[in-house]
Structure 1
Amino acid sequence: MLRTFQEHHIRKTSLLDGPWDFVLDPENVGLKEKWFDRFPQPVKSIYVPSCWNNGLHMYDYEGVAWFRRTIRIEDTNHVRLVFHAVLGAADVYLDGQHLGYHFGGYTPFEFIIPSLSAGEHELIVRTDSTLDDLTIPTRLVDWFHYGGIIRSVEMQFLPDLYIEKLKIDYELEGADAAVIFQVRISSLAQTDMITALSLYEDGQSLYSDHVAVCANQTVDHTIKLNWNEVRLWNVGKPELYTIQACLEQDDKVERIGFRKIETKDHQILINDSPIFLKGVNRHEEHPEWGFAFPPKLMYKDLQIIQEMGCNTVRGSHYPQSSYWLDLLDENGILFWSEIPIWGALLPDETVSNPLFQERAQTMMAEMITMHYHHPSIIFWSIHNEIDTRTNSAYKMTEQLLQKTKQLDNSRLITYATMHPLEDILLPLFDVIGINKYFGWYEGNVGGFKEMLQQFHKRAEDMGAGDIPVIMTEFGGAGIYGDTGWEPRLFSEDYQAKILTEALTIFRNDPKISGTYIWQFADTRADLQSNGAHFRDRARSFNNKGIVNEYRKPKLSFREVKRIYHSWSSGKL
């Protein structure tokens, strides 16, 4: 499933999920040999969506692979093909013709084929999961390098006039909303046409008019309405509105929630009330599914997160599926969404490279477009743990901030720094995230106190003293089942000790606005026997999850649950 609700009631759609022909191309000869024209034999079959690394004998494969699927069209039709996520880079071919290229593994891309003839057609996708110094993420990244078509492929049948986009913005004054609907109507017709346009909210008529669209042109139609006494979306109180835009032969459904997000006096406010964030970092990853994360497991993750007492989740470290965001919308849980710039080992030459910067801006734009209407998202994050002490980082950050504000000025813009006492970016952001691992990578847990004292003074000196600060990563590894009489490294006991002491320090600091524990579940790491990095990852996993990779609770889960629930009742 793509969403928890139906996005089209009139437009005909179908999923191309299921078995696809599949072949690896380790020597990268497919383009030269024109595999897009004549698919090689013999072929395997692979299920889409999936990650090929979860199959037998492909665990370590990173590189090029080809997919093929036959599609059948009963009558000549305008067709829209939507790839909801393909890891790395993708070239798409239909009947040997190149439809286009997309870079970036976690956001959708599409192709429109006007008047596709009736009959069978061969759809071929060349994917490349190779990471290098200019990909995002780069080759040195602290999660497993999966490959594949990881989210659904969708085929839609379009009429001559169709809704290309429905975008909804609003301004709140108390519980009164000035709502702006932008409906983009596109024509695939050879003649000028007039169509009826209607808007509905939960089935109730809001607006109706006629719109003229010239042949093969696009029209943006804007509708402004004032709504009084709207139900406000809030943490634990998920009030949602379903909006349907209809043409005579097409429709588009979006869902929104009304809420106001602000910062004041180093606090985050939702609908004028301050909130302390109680969260975890979550990779959308599972050892049996990789990044092709099924809805059933999303429900389980959500239940565990709620059981723990969380009111927020950080999406580490890439745009996560719309289905997951729908669940958070429906349950009143806040979300931090970011693009996959993981920078602990990111060289300055990469940060200053124009291609890398261009890719980062494109990813930011695609993430915002993809998730624009989710009320659960209150943060757009532009990078994680890059070297924020350099002029190159400053320049790239300015560009990303400008791009983000152009696309959406209704949310807070943030990042996570691993250099809080030397960072030169602090005043640029709405919210500052700090990643530090006292008790694991450096010193003991008590080191957080002195570090935060120094940080707050430095932030004040830089004019950033009122900016909310969130502890976005902290914790330590604990091997599931390894317990003893006293805390020791890699035991569940030691992991629980780190988190208990750290959370107490953070909650007693009046300038800390929230916590995101690293991390929700153990995840596969990119551990290679001939590599120099991540060699502390026992079992080839990042074992800092408070549940293991199969979602079994560790001692730290029970401690965090106790603490987060006590905070709800005002206790420490």
Structure 2
Amino acid sequence: MIRTFPEHLIRKTTLLDGPWDFVRDSENKGQQENWFERFPHAEKSLYVPSCWNNELHLYDYEGIAWYRKKLRTDQTQHVRLIFHAVLGHADVYLDGQHLGYHYGGYTPFEIILPSLPAGEHELVVRTDSTLDRLTIPTEVVDWFHYGGIIRSVELQTVPDIYIDSFAINYELNGANADIKVEVRLRSLSQADGTAHFALSESERDICSKQISVGAGQTEVLEFEFQLNDVRLWNPGQPELYLFRAGIEQDDRYERIGFRKIETKDHRILINGAPVYLRGINRHEEHPEWGFAFPPKLMQKDLDIILELGCNTVRGSHYPQSPYWLDLLDENGIIFWSEIPIWGAALPNETVCEPLFQERALTMMEEMVRMHIHHPSVVFWSVHNEIDSRTQDAYELTKRMVGLVRKLDSSRLVTYATMHPLEDVLLPLFDVIGINKYYGWYEGQVEGFKEMLQQFHKRAERLGAGDKPVLMTEFGGAGIFGDVGWEPRLFSEDYQAHIVTEALGLFKEDPRVGGTYIWQFADIRGDLKSSGKHFRDRARSFNNKGLVNEYRKPKQSFREVRRIYRAWSEQDS
């Protein structure tokens, strides 16, 4: 299951999920020895999607690994092959031929195979999870670094003329929506062709026309129309619309929700109503599944988050599964989406590197295109905790913010800073996120009050005093089950003390528009016995979760639930 609704009813789709042959390439000799032509004896059978680090004897492995899957086609056909997420570098081969390369980890990429002959075919993927100073994230990162094909691989059979893309944009005027639709039809035929195109919403026919597409060409269709008295998507009260683009032999569905996003008086406004954000940071990670997070567990995470009283989730720190965002769409939960530029240990020299910037811009574009139709996505975040005190950071950020605004002007552009009193990036953004850990990494929790007073004055001087401020990370570690008579470090009691005191301070500040507690669940840390980083992570976990890694609640969960639910009643 890739989405909570079918994206195609006519187009034949097959998931290639299941056992694939797997072999490590720790010496990086596979390409030289042509493993893509003659795959070596498989080390083991590995289920796709999954992370190899969850397998026995592969826990610490970072590097290159190869996958192989044999598939059969009954007749010559056009194939669209989609990899929904492969961690790091990915090279794809079919029958010994190199088809393409992708770098990233959390966004899909596709390959079109026109007229694939009938018979058995060998699909081989070379992956490389190695981190270095120019990868995103870089070599020092505060989460466990998994490797593997972490989301589904999909094989679609497409006709001579097929629907290549389907984009829906709109502007709200009161209760009416002015809608612009762009559909790209692509021909894989050697002859000119025609198709009867139809666009509809649920049971409502919007338009239809006969289309001619030249051999091997692409035809772009654009439509503008208005829907009146639309039902608006609101936090806690979601309304969704399902649109269909179709021709005789192909179809594609996209789902959207209508809402207007603004800022005013230090608040986020959805459809003109201010929303105080009650949020949590969530890694899409589980100790038994890594980043290959199953849909069933996504539903459980959502149920716990709803129980907590949240109306928003921050996707820390990478593009998360479309299935997860579908669930948020359906439940009226606001989402903050970001790419994995985690910068607490990111050298400033790295942000100047052309390759790093190219990768960052590509990741931003791929994330926006992947999540563009989700009404739950209110924030696009360009980076987290980089050294935002420098001119180099300013130049990179200016490029990234410019790209996002070009791709999508309907949402808010943001980031999270760990240098709020020295940051030079404040004027570039619609919303400012602050990450600070008073009571844990520095001082006492009461330090938030003085820090915010200084921050607001500085923001005014920089011309950013009117922007909403969100507390995007704060908290402390608590080991599940460690309770006592006093709030000791690493105890559930002390963690609850930090979080509850901080929430009270933030709610008293009229310029703070919401909170994202760090974090939802305990996650694996990137600890190495030979390394110097994160050695304060007890159990090799970042233990700041309100629930532990198996989703069992700590004392802080119960305290936050009490506070968030009380705030929800005040705001209703």
Q: TM-score, normalised by structure 2?
A: 0.99
For residue 43 of structure 1, report the CA deviation from its aligned partner: 3.2
For residue 480 of structure 1, report the CA deviation from its aligned partner: 0.1
Offset from partner CA, 1:228-281 (integer Å, 9 cap, x none):
100000001110000010011100000000000001121110000100000000
Match of 2:404, SS state, is helix
Corresponding residue for residue 72 of structure 2: 72
| Alignment of structure 1 residues 530-549 onto 2, 5 Å | 530-549=530-549
Corresponding residue for residue 319 of structure 2: 319
Corresponding residue for residue 50 of structure 1: 50
For residue 297 of structure 1, report the CA deviation from its aligned partner: 0.2
Match of 1:514, SS state, is strand
For residue 469 of structure 1, report the CA deviation from its aligned partner: 0.2
Corresponding residue for residue 59 of structure 1: 59
Q: Does 1:492 align with 2:499?
A: no
| Alignment of structure 1 residues 548-559 onto 2, 5 Å | 548-559=548-559
How many angstroms apart in 1 are the aligned matches of 2:290 and 2:267? 36
For residue 372 of structure 1, report the CA deviation from its aligned partner: 0.6
How many angstroms apart in 2 are the aligned matches of 1:452 and 1:338? 24
Match of 1:244, SS state, is strand
How many angstroms apart in 2 are the aligned matches of 1:226 and 1:245? 17
Q: Does 1:230 align with 2:256?
A: no
Corresponding residue for residue 82 of structure 2: 82
How many angstroms apart in 2 are the aligned matches of 1:201 and 1:237? 20
Q: Does 1:164 align with 2:155?
A: no
Match of 2:357, SS state, is helix
For residue 44 of structure 1, report the CA deviation from its aligned partner: 1.0
How many angstroms apart in 1 are the aligned matches of 2:72 and 2:332? 41
Task: Identify which range, 331-340 or 260-269, moves more after superposition.
Answer: 260-269
Match of 2:350, SS state, is helix
For residue 141 of structure 1, report the CA deviation from its aligned partner: 0.3
Corresponding residue for residue 145 of structure 1: 145
Is contact 2:21-2:42 (8 Å) kept? Answer: no
For residue 350 of structure 1, report the CA deviation from its aligned partner: 0.5
| Alignment of structure 1 residues 219-368 onto 2, 5 Å | 219-368=219-368
Moved over 4 A (4+): none
Match of 1:70, SS state, is strand
Is contact 2:22-2:42 (8 Å) kept? Answer: no
Please tell me the residue identity of whatever aligns with 1:3: R
Please tell me the residue identity of whatever aligns with 1:98: H
For residue 42 of structure 1, report the CA deviation from its aligned partner: 4.2
Corresponding residue for residue 41 of structure 1: 41
For residue 552 of structure 1, report the CA deviation from its aligned partner: 0.1
Which residues of structure 2 form unaligned runs of 5+?
none
How many angstroms apart in 2 are the aligned matches of 1:570 and 1:122? 60
How many angstroms apart in 2 are the aligned matches of 1:157 and 1:175? 40
Aligned residues: 572
Cα 1:294–1:42 shift into 2, 3 Å: closer
Corresponding residue for residue 207 of structure 1: 207
Is contact 2:24-2:43 (8 Å) kept? Answer: no
How many angstroms apart in 2 are the aligned matches of 1:75 and 1:492? 61
Corresponding residue for residue 420 of structure 2: 420
Offset from partner CA, 1:282-318 (integer Å, 9 cap, x none):
0000000000000000000000000000000000000
Is contact 2:295-2:323 (8 Å) kept? Answer: yes
How many angstroms apart in 1 are the aligned matches of 2:268 and 2:508? 17
| Alignment of structure 1 residues 367-386 onto 2, 5 Å | 367-386=367-386
Corresponding residue for residue 431 of structure 1: 431
How many angstroms apart in 1 are the aligned matches of 2:202 and 2:134? 45
Match of 1:449, SS state, is helix
How many angstroms apart in 1 are the aligned matches of 2:316 and 2:473? 10
Match of 1:157, SS state, is strand
Q: Does 1:125 align with 2:125?
A: yes
Corresponding residue for residue 19 of structure 1: 19
Offset from partner CA, 1:390-438 (integer Å, 9 cap, x none):
0110000000011111111110000000000000000110000000000
How many angstroms apart in 1 are the aligned matches of 2:280 and 2:428? 25
Q: Does 1:177 align with 2:161?
A: no
How many angstroms apart in 2 are the aligned matches of 1:43 and 1:34? 17
Report sequence identity in percent: 71
How many angstroms apart in 2 are the aligned matches of 1:158 and 1:301? 35
Please tell me the residue identity of whatever aligns with 1:307: E
Please tell me the residue identity of whatever aligns with 1:457: K
Corresponding residue for residue 518 of structure 1: 518
